[in-house]
C-alpha cells in the first residue's frame, strides 16, 4: 500500500492504481493523508470540501464520502480509516506514504548530522527531496486545502532544501550548489535565507562581485515591494563578504586554532595565553531520554554548527517556550551531542529565571575558576572580570550553556570571546534583543509525541492497552512534557490505577493542577513564575494578570480583543496589548483567527486566579464591614 501526495494524488495497492475520481472524495482523501495518524475533525474536513461554505447536510455528506473511500480502497486498506471523535483518523506506517518517507529521511538526516556525518546527512536530505514529483495538491479541487496545507508543504520543501544547502556549504561544496540556488532565488527573490546562501556560495567560489550585486538587487526589491531593509542575517552576510573574512577553505578533520595575531585583542590576551588552561566539563548529566524532539534537536545543532559566523561574533542559539515544555532537557541533550566539537570544554550555569536571577557578578567568578584562574587572582571589578573572561575564551572552541535566562542583559556579559565558541541559551522569554541569536520556539508535543512520551514513562503496552484514555490524559496535559511526565509518574506510583481512572480524575478534578503534582514537581509553580514575571512588566492600562483572572471567572477557552475590551470597558488596543503580554508570558495561546486560546492547563490556572481574586475581595469587604 502506497499513498502519494507530493505531486498528483495517487493511491496504489499491490502495484495497482486505485482510482479516487470523485472530486470531493479526493479532497477527503488528501485531508486524511495530510493528517495521517492524527484525528482530523469533521468540521475541518467540511471546510476543505466546501471551501469554508458547507451546506447544512455537510457532516452527513462527509460520512458518505468516507464510506465510499473505504469501499474504493478495499477491505485491508479501508480498515485503516478509523472513526475517532470528533472525526476520522487514517492509520499509516511511515513508509506507506511519500510524505511519511520524506519525514523519515529528514529525521535520518538530523540523526546523522548529530553524529557529525555531514556526508550522510546531505545524502538523506537529497533522498527526501527526490520524493517530490510535482506541485502537491494541484489536482485537489479545494482552494482552502491548497492555501493551508499546500503552502505548508511547499514551505517544508524549501526548508529542507535550505538544510541541504547549509550542509553542502559546511562540506565546502559551494560551487556545486550555485546553479540550483540561482534558480530558486529567481523563483523566491524575497526569501532572504536563500539569497544569503547564494551570496556565500558565490563568494566562496571566487565570485565576490556577483555576490555583492545580488545583495544590492535584493535590497532594492525589498525596499520597493515591502518598504523594508534586508534583515539582520542578510546584512551580516553582506558585511561578512565585504570584510573578505570567509575565504574558500579545504576540508580538515579539525579546525586549527586561529593565529595569535588574529585572536589577540589586547596585551592582556597574550598574557593569559602564556599559561596552560584546563578544559572545563561542567555540563550536568543528561536528564531523562528525549522523546519526540528529534527535529527540534536537529535545529538547535543546525543553529550552532552550520554556516560561518562573521568575524567577532559567536554562534548563538536560544531555545524559548513555556515552563515545563522541555527547554532545559533539549539544550542539555544538544550540548552533550556537541561535546566532541567543543574541544576546549563546556561551561554551564543555571541563571535562575525571573524568580531567582543570577547576575554576571555571581556567575563570572565560577566560570573563571572553571577555566583555571586561581580564586585569589579573579579581579574584584566586574568590568575586569568580563574582560578576563573574554580574553580567556577568545580563540578557543568552548560551548557555553546558560539555562533559564530571564533577559538578554543577563546573558551579554557571559558571551565568550570570538574565535569558535558557541553559546546555547534557554529562556521563557524570546530574547529578541540578544544580538545575532537564532531562536527556536519550543511548543507542546502533538498527540503522537505526547503518547510516545507517556509510553516511555509507563510502558508502551500500558498505553496501547487503553488508547482512548491515554489520549484523554495527554489532551488534558495539553502536550506539556512536564505535565505528561507527572501524570505518568502518578501511574507508576499507583500500579493499581488504570489510565482510565487517571483520565477521569484529571477531567473531573475541580483543581486540575493539584492532580498534576508529584514530589517537588508541578505545573502550577511554572505558571506562578510566568505571572511573577508578568507583574514586573505589566503595561499601562489593563493589568494582564487581571485579564487572566477575568478569563478564568468567565470559564473562557478562547477570547478576542473586542470581548476583553467589553469586559474592562477599555479601548480594544489596550485589550490587545494586555492579551499580547499574556502571550509573551506563555499564559495564553498566540491568536488564530483573531482569537486567543487557553488550553486545559491554562484554563485551570486562570480559574484558580479568579478564585483567589474573589477570596481577596471578600476578605476586604469583610474587613470594611467589621
Q: What is the pLDDT of residues 473-515, one digit of tens each?
A: 999 999 999 999 999 988 988 889 999 999 999 987 677 888 8
Question: Where residue 309 falls among pLDDT bands split at 50, 70, 90?
Answer: low
My answer on whether 290 and 430 are in the same domain is yes
Joined together, the cell numbers standing for residue 247 give 575565504
Least-confidence region, from 36-40, 254-258, 288-292: 254-258
Query: What is the C-alpha separation between 9 and 23, in angstroms, rounded?
Result: 11
What pLDDT sits at residue 481? 92
Query: What is the C-alpha separation between 440 and 402, in angstroms, rounded?
Result: 15
**Cα angle, residue 417 at apex, residues 211 and 307 outer, rounded to 5°:** 30
What pLDDT sits at residue 270? 36
The fraction of the chain above a pLDDT of 70, given in percent, is 88
Residue pair 44/86 in contact by the 8 Å Cβ criterion: no
My answer on whether 6 and 132 are in the same domain is yes
Continuous segment of H or E residues that includes residue 618: helix 600-625
CA-derived radius of gyration, the chain: 27
DSSP class of residue 152?
H
Q: For residue 165, is it within any domain? A: no
User: Which one of 478, 496, 519 terminates a domain?
Assistant: 519
Say how many domains are in the chain.
5
User: Which one of 462, 484, 519 terminates a domain?
Assistant: 519
- Whether 290 has a pLDDT exceeding 80, the answer reads no
**CATH number, domain containing residue 584:** 1.10.10.10
Q: For residue 160, is it within any domain? A: no
My answer on whether 193 and 217 are in the same domain is yes
- Which residues, at least 6 apart from 524, have a Cβ–Cβ distance to it below 8 Å? 513, 516, 517, 605, 608
Q: Of 295-309, 399-413, 568-582, where does the model show the most confidence?
A: 399-413
What pLDDT sits at residue 509? 64
- Whether 317 has a pLDDT exceeding 90, the answer reads yes
Q: What is the pLDDT of residues 218-251, one digit of tens each?
A: 999 988 888 888 888 888 888 878 865 444 443 4
Q: What is the pLDDT of residues 318-331, one digit of tens each?
A: 999 988 999 999 99
What pLDDT sits at residue 131? 93
> What letters, b where the CB count within 10 A reaches 16 and e where it falls short, cover 364-385?
bbebbebbebeeeebbeeeeeb
What pLDDT sits at residue 325? 92
What pLDDT sits at residue 425? 96
My answer on whether 357 and 306 are in the same domain is yes
**CATH number, domain containing residue 401:** 3.40.50.300
How many Cβ atoms sit within 10 Å of the Cβ of residue 601? 25
Query: What is the C-alpha separation between 21 and 479, in angstroms, rounded?
Result: 38
Query: What is the C-alpha separation between 270 and 174, in angstroms, rounded?
Result: 36
My answer on whether 419 and 284 are in the same domain is yes
Dihedral over Cα of 320, 324, 325, 331: its sign: positive
What pLDDT sits at residue 427? 93
My answer on whether 470 and 507 are in the same domain is yes
My answer on whether 148 and 2 are in the same domain is yes
Q: Which of 521, 506, 505, 500 minimizes the C-alpha distance to 458?
A: 500
Q: For residue 343, is it within any domain? A: yes
Q: How many residues are listed for the chain in this entry?
A: 626
Q: What is the pLDDT of residues 112-129, one digit of tens each?
A: 887 778 889 999 999 999
Residue written as grid cell 539569497: 195
Residue pair 86/41 in contact by the 8 Å Cβ criterion: yes
Coarse DSSP helix, strand, coil percentages of the chain, rounded to the nearest 5 percent: 55, 10, 35
- Burial of 193 from C-beta contacts in 10 A (0-12 / 13-18 / 19+): middle
How far lies 7's CA from each of 32, 41, 143, in Å? 16, 24, 16
Q: For residue 255, is it within any domain? A: no
Q: For residue 592, is it within any domain? A: yes
Joined together, the cell numbers standing for residue 84 give 475517532
Q: For residue 261, is it within any domain? A: no
Q: Of 117-131, 343-357, 572-586, where does the model show the most confidence?
A: 117-131
What pLDDT sits at residue 248? 44
My answer on whether 39 and 143 are in the same domain is yes
The overall longest dimension of the chain from CA atoms, in Å, is 85
Task: Output the pTM of the full model.
Answer: 0.56
My answer on whether 429 and 452 are in the same domain is no
The fraction of the chain above a pLDDT of 90, given in percent, is 28
My answer on whether 139 and 63 are in the same domain is yes
My answer on whether 601 and 485 are in the same domain is no
Q: What is the pLDDT of residues 141-193, one digit of tens each?
A: 988 888 878 888 888 899 899 999 988 988 888 899 999 999 999 999 999 98
Q: What are phi and psi for residue 567, nearest 5 degrees? A: -55, -45
Least-confidence region, from 263-272, 396-405, 559-568: 263-272
User: Which one of 501, 519, 537 terminates a domain?
Assistant: 519
How many Cβ atoms sit within 10 Å of the Cβ of residue 459? 14
- Whether 575 has a pLDDT exceeding 70, the answer reads yes
Residue pair 501/491 in contact by the 8 Å Cβ criterion: no
**CATH number, domain containing residue 237:** 1.25.40.10
Q: For residue 524, is it within any domain? A: no
My answer on whether 182 and 304 are in the same domain is no
Q: For residue 266, is it within any domain? A: no
Domain residues for the domain of 619 are: 529-625
Question: Where residue 371 falls among pLDDT bands split at 50, 70, 90?
Answer: confident
> How confident is the model over 588-614, as a mean pLDDT?
86
Query: What is the C-alpha separation between 82 and 39, in angstroms, rounded?
Result: 9
Amino acid at each position: 500500500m502506497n499513498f502519494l501526495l507530493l505531486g498528483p494524488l495517487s493511491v496504489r495497492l499491490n502495484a495497482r492504481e486505485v482510482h479516487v475520481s470523485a472530486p470531493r472524495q479526493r479532497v477527503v482523501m488528501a485531508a486524511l493523508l495530510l493528517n495521517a495518524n492524527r484525528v482530523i475533525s469533521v468540521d475541518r474536513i467540511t471546510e476543505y470540501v466546501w471551501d469554508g461554505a458547507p451546506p447544512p447536510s455537510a457532516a452527513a455528506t462527509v460520512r458518505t464520502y468516507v464510506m465510499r473511500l473505504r469501499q474504493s480502497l478495499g477491505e485491508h486498506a479501508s480498515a485503516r480509516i478509523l472513526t475517532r471523535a470528533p472525526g476520522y483518523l487514517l492509520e499509516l506506517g511511515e513508509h506507506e506514504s511519500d510524505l511519511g518517507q520524506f519525514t523519515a529521511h529528514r529525521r535520518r538526516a538530523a540523526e546523522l548530522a548529530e553524529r557529525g556525518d555531514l556526508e550522510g546527512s546531505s545524502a538523506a536530505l537529497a533522498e527526501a527531496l527526490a520524493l517530490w514529483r510535482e506541485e502537491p495538491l494541484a489536482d485537489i479541487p479545494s482552494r482552502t486545502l491548497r492555501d493551508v496545507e499546500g503552502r505548508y508543504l511547499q514551505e517544508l520543501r524549501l526548508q529542507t532544501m535550505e538544510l541541504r544547502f547549509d550542509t553542502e556549504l559546511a562540506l565546502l561544496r559551494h560551487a556545486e550548489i550555485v546553479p540550483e540556488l540561482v534558480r530558486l532565488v529567481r523563483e523566491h527573490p524575497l526569501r532572504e535565507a536563500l539569497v544569503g546562501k547564494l551570496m556565500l556560495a558565490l563568494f566562496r567560489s571566487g565570485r565576490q562581485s556577483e555576490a555583492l550585486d545580488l545583495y544590492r538587487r535584493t535590497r532594492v526589491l525589498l525596499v520597493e515591494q515591502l518598504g523594508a531593509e534586508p534583515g539582520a542575517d542578510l546584512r551580516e552576510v553582506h558585511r561578512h563578504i565585504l570584510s573578505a573574512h570567509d575565504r574558500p577553505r579545504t576540508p580538515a578533520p579539525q579546525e586549527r586554532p586561529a593565529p595569535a595575531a588574529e585572536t589577540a585583542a589586547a596585551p592582556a590576551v597574550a598574557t593569559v595565553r602564556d599559561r596552560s588552561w584546563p578544559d572545563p566539563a561542567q555540563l550536568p548529566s543528561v536528564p531523562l531520554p528525549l522523546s519526540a524532539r528529534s527535529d527540534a534537536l536537529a535545529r538547535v545543532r543546525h543553529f550552532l554548527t552550520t554556516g560561518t559566523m562573521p568575524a567577532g561574533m559567536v554562534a548563538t542559539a536560544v531555545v524559548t517556550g513555556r515552563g515545563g515544555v522541555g527547554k532545559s532537557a533539549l539544550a542539555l541533550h544538544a550540548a552533550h551531542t556537541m561535546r566532541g566539537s567543543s574541544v576546549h570544554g563546556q561551561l554551564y550555569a543555571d541563571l535562575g529565571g525571573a524568580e531567582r536571577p543570577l547576575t554576571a557578578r555571581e556567575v563570572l567568578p565560577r566560570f573563571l575558576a572553571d577555566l583555571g584562574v586561581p580564586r585569589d587572582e579573579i579581579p574584584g571589578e566586574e568590568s575586569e572580570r568580563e574582560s578576563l573572561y573574554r580574553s580567556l575564551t577568545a580563540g578557543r572552541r568552548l560551548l557555553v550553556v546558560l539555562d533559564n535566562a530571564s533577559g538578554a542583559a543577563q546573558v551579554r556579559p557571559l558571551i565568550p570571546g570570538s574565535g569558535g565558541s558557541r553559546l546555547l541559551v534557554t529562556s521563557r522569554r524570546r530574547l529578541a534583543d540578544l544580538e545575532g541569536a537564532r531562536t527556536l520556539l519550543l511548543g507542546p508535543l502533538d498527540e503522537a509525541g505526547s503518547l510516545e512520551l507517556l509510553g516511555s514513562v509507563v510502558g508502551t503496552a500500558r498505553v496501547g492497552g487503553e488508547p482512548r484514555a491515554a489520549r484523554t490524559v495527554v489532551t488534558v496535559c495539553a502536550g506539556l512534557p512536564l505535565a505528561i511526565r507527572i501524570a505518568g509518574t502518578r501511574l507508576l506510583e499507583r500500579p493499581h490505577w488504570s489510565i482510565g481512572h487517571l483520565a477521569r480524575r484529571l477531567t473531573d478534578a475541580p483543581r486540575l493542577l493539584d492532580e498534576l503534582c508529584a514530589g517537588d514537581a508541578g505545573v502550577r509553580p511554572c505558571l506562578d513564575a510566568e505571572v511573577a514575571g508578568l507583574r514586573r512588566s505589566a503595561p499601562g492600562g489593563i493589568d494582564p494578570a487581571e485579564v487572566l483572572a477575568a478569563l478564568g471567572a468567565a470559564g473562557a477557552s478562547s477570547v478576542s480583543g473586542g470581548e476583553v475590551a467589553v469586559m474592562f470597558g477599555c479601548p480594544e488596543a489596550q485589550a490587545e496589548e494586555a492579551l499580547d503580554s499574556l502571550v509573551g508570558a506563555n499564559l495564553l495561546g498566540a491568536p488564530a483567527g483573531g482569537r486567543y486560546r487557553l488550553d486545559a492547563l491554562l484554563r485551570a490556572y486562570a480559574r484558580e486566579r479568579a478564585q483567589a481574586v474573589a477570596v481577596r475581595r471578600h476578605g476586604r469587604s469583610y474587613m470594611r464591614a467589621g
